[in-house]
Structure 1
Amino acid sequence: MAATLHETPARPSADAAAPPDAPAIGLEGVEKTYRSGHETVTAVRGIDLTIPQGEFFSLLGPSGCGKSTTMRMIAGFEEPTAGTVRLAGRDVTHVPPNRRDVNMVFQSYALFPHMTIHDNIAFGLRRKKLPEAEVRRRVGEILELVELGGREKTRPGRLSGGQQQRVALARALVNRPSALLLDEPLGALDLKLRQAMQIELKRIQRDIGITFVYVTHDQGEALTMSDRIAVLNHGVIEQLGAPAEIYERPATRFTAGFIGTSNLLTGMVAERRGEAAVLDFGDAGRVIAATDAAPGDEIDVTVRPEKIALAPGAEEPPAAFSRLRGTVTEVVYLGSTTHYTVRTDSGAQVVVFRQNASDATALSARGEQVWLSWRPESAYVLPHT
């Protein structure tokens, strides 16, 4: 059973007491530019962001999108070129890192190899000159929370990568910050351990109840752990929302392509059917999607691979479904699923994920003619931006 941490008074601050209902973190028009030779490079462009107390929040995007720079401005390691950074309602834009009530965990664990696990975790508490009895109590509590109880006298070199990451996490949490910032902390772990640690991080965050801000380029990590996600691209937030919202209703072409796998189909509206529009590809099929677009408008429709059914070319799909005829060009067997790439007769390339729930040998083969079909509500028309 996870330990319960005792509450202690908040750290003193140079500012007035924060409102009790203030967000954990607030960014108001935050920008960051750098000089590179004779050029000015903009890393972050006017970000506005509010992160409530107790939320697991992820900054997600490709390398160079501005997510780590944003994290470093929250921590105080970078100062914004413009805008305001607030922690618990207080303006900390020009406050140094050691006076901010946040801690940061990096991909490199930075543990002291000559110290025991207990002493590694206790290091910050002893620098604050807490009584040794209080240090022992708090270290014991946090070791139970990260499920390393009984390993107090072990040195880091005798721990696995996942256990060392837990020690780094415990060292940050034992100081009881108002928010914990994690900059791709699982990047050095192998796939299975990384997946296990994702569940552990979410459990620890839920048990301790403080705000986590997590930087990652891994969509799976963000979807697994987050209450909300900000998708960044070229220094701006492309979309902000819950994982299911971002996955099912991407706001831009970038989000649709970056979060998971998505099929993008472009066509001209041929007719309307109630609240839906029909893209007519003649003998190659048609696509039906809910939208207010009028006949003659060009629209982009996205549909996820797992929502598409695949059937032999002789089995025509139901009339109410979207359907496209094509030829299988690639088959990848992955055990629980098989991934198909299909070149439609209209020239589009579509990826289909099929669960191997029954006979895994009954697979469509390369070169086979097939029908692809899906319910109209499984497709989403991307907003015009």
Structure 2
Amino acid sequence: MTDIQQDMAAAEAGDPAAAPVPAIELAGVVKEYHARGEVVPAVRGVDLSIAEGEFFALLGPSGCGKTTTMRMVAGFEDPTRGTVRLHGRDVTAVPPNRRDVNMVFQSYALFPHMNVWDNVAFGLRRRGLPREEVRRRVAETLEIVDLAGRERRRPRELSGGQQQRVALARALANRPRALLLDEPLGALDLKLRQAMQGELKRIQREVGITFVHVTHDQGEALAMSDRIAVMNDGRIEQLGPPREVYERPATRFVAGFIGTSNLLAGTVAEVVGDLAVLRAGEDGRVLLPAGDHLRPGGPVEITVRPEKISIETVEPVPGVSAVRGTVTDASYLGTANSYLVRLPEGTEFTVFEQNVHDSGLTARRGDTVWLSWQPQHSYAIGSRTPS
């Protein structure tokens, strides 16, 4: 166990029967700005609870309020209304330097004239820690982020991923109980960004503290996080584990923002057993689990992910969703083939077909094809049971 984990365990010691105190809590948090005599809302009544040791993602497009939310946790912004608690303590009016959190920025903000060791030691020295304590903490943290042996290098002598690890080490050396990461991988190229996703998760597991990761990259959030809060227009539209958010989107926005999703609106024609049936064109059908909220004649909007769909040149067997359309585009993507298929009413579906054969594309532009998928892969938006 590292010294960081030992400090956390000591801080958490108490009544074992008591409910665990969240690492971070936001209650009714609102942030408004004033510009040209108008009130501009940035965050609109966010309620949020993040568990101790959780890898949590705030995900959303630019301007959705995710960075403002994190800056209020860090103390760099004051809420207009609401309460911020860290480990049960109200810190709404507490300045940043007295909050037990550290923040890592996209730019890393390293001192170019200092080497790796001095960059990591900077905050510890500012706090007046004894020299031996500084030496021990820096050495331990550099080992955690896999930079041992590079202590004397300057930032310009490091790769982008190594610079990011220096910034992480500098934050971790202070032993915060929560680490806030603002688009930490945004400055890296794709291959390095993917490699660093695994590194960040490894570091978080090793030190065991709460990570809050702000990003607009859906793949990052899905790959790294224990839970995701999807934000839009200052509000949280859905909160849950990555698989739930991806497979069972709560709103049309979430369905469209997380990955690629096909949306189809219609009316329930009938309910047969435990399946609801929607008609699609003259001979098409969409099957989905009925649930208590679906009745014949009622409107419904479904989403189905492109990788769940099969593309065929003959009509599928009964018992699956099946719609007919015309291929408007077919592309070879290496690991998969991608198709755009226009349905008779004008809706365009995206289909991903895993590239497991050497025969090339199943269909080409202009072909009439059938799309099919299992009933459980049709998900009615808004039907998720709140957790």
Same-fold status (TM-score > 0.5): yes
1:250 equivalent in structure 2:
249
1:61 equivalent in structure 2:
60
1:4 equivalent in structure 2:
2
2:305 equivalent in structure 1:
304
Q: Residues of 2 paired with 1:99 and 1:133: CA distance?
A: 24
The alignment partner of 1:195 has SS state of helix
360-369 vs 53-62, which moves further: 360-369
Output one character per residue of 1:65-89: Cα deviation in whole Å (capped at 9) or x when no partner. Answer: 1000000000000000000000000
The alignment partner of 1:199 has SS state of helix
Contact 2:24 2:85 in 1 (8 A): yes
1:378 equivalent in structure 2:
377
Q: Residues of 2 paired with 1:383 and 1:239: CA distance?
A: 10
Contact 1:284 1:344 in 2 (8 A): no
Q: Which residue identity lines up with residue 40 of structure 1 in the other structure?
A: V
1:175 to 2:174 alignment: yes
1:104 to 2:134 alignment: no
Q: How far is the alpha carbon of 1:346 from its aligned partner?
A: 3.3
Q: Which residue identity lines up with residue 380 of structure 1 in the other structure?
A: Y
1:367 to 2:363 alignment: no
Q: Which residue identity lines up with residue 119 of structure 1 in the other structure?
A: D
**How do 1:281-296 residues align onto structure 2 when only pairs under 5 Å count?**
281-291=280-290, 292-296=293-297
2:43 equivalent in structure 1:
44
1:150 equivalent in structure 2:
149
Q: Name the Cα RMSD after superposition.
A: 1.8
Task: Classify 1:77/1:135 alpha carbon distance in 2 versus 1 (closer, same or farther; 3 Å).
Answer: same
Q: Which residue identity lines up with residue 149 of structure 1 in the other structure?
A: A
Contact 1:84 1:93 in 2 (8 A): yes
Output one character per residue of 1:275-329: Cα deviation in whole Å (capped at 9) or x when no partner. Answer: 22111124341101113311111110100000000011xx210110000001110
Q: Residues of 1 paired with 2:82 and 2:377: CA distance?
A: 40
2:342 equivalent in structure 1:
343
Q: Which residue identity lines up with residue 303 of structure 1 in the other structure?
A: V
1:72 to 2:64 alignment: no
Q: Residues of 1 paired with 2:65 and 2:359: CA distance?
A: 43
19-28 vs 280-289, which moves further: 19-28
Output one character per residue of 1:130-184: Cα deviation in whole Å (capped at 9) or x when no partner. Answer: 1111111111111111111100111111000110000001000110101000010
1:121 equivalent in structure 2:
120
1:239 to 2:242 alignment: no
Task: Classify 1:101/1:330 alpha carbon distance in 2 versus 1 (closer, same or farther; 3 Å).
Answer: same
Output one character per residue of 1:262-286: Cα deviation in whole Å (capped at 9) or x when no partner. Answer: 0001111111111221111243411
Q: Residues of 1 paired with 2:359 and 2:22: CA distance?
A: 50
Q: Aligned residues: percent identity?
A: 64
The alignment partner of 2:318 has SS state of coil
The alignment partner of 2:150 has SS state of coil
Unaligned residue ranges in structure 2 (runs of 5+): none
Q: How far is the alpha carbon of 1:347 from its aligned partner?
A: 2.3
Unaligned residue ranges in structure 1 (runs of 5+): none
Q: Residues of 2 paired with 1:211 and 1:36: CA distance?
A: 35
Q: Residues of 1 paired with 2:175 and 2:111: CA distance?
A: 21
1:358 to 2:357 alignment: yes
Contact 1:75 1:97 in 2 (8 A): yes
Q: Residues of 1 paired with 2:278 and 2:4: CA distance?
A: 60
Q: Residues of 2 paired with 1:358 and 1:203: CA distance?
A: 35
Contact 1:117 1:153 in 2 (8 A): yes
Q: How far is the alpha carbon of 1:345 from its aligned partner?
A: 2.3
Q: Which residue identity lines up with residue 128 of structure 2 in the other structure?
A: K
Q: Residues of 2 paired with 1:250 and 1:320: CA distance?
A: 24
368-377 vs 277-286, which moves further: 277-286
Q: Residues of 2 paired with 1:125 and 1:218: CA distance?
A: 33
Q: Which residue identity lines up with residue 29 of structure 1 in the other structure?
A: G
Q: Residues of 1 paired with 2:283 and 2:92: CA distance?
A: 57
Q: Residues of 2 paired with 1:339 and 1:362: CA distance?
A: 9
Contact 2:229 2:239 in 1 (8 A): yes
Output one character per residue of 1:101-135: Cα deviation in whole Å (capped at 9) or x when no partner. Answer: 00000000111111110010000111111111111
The alignment partner of 1:54 has SS state of coil
Number of aligned residue pairs: 376
Q: Residues of 2 paired with 1:284 and 1:78: CA distance?
A: 57
Task: Classify 1:370/1:102 alpha carbon distance in 2 versus 1 (closer, same or farther; 3 Å).
Answer: same
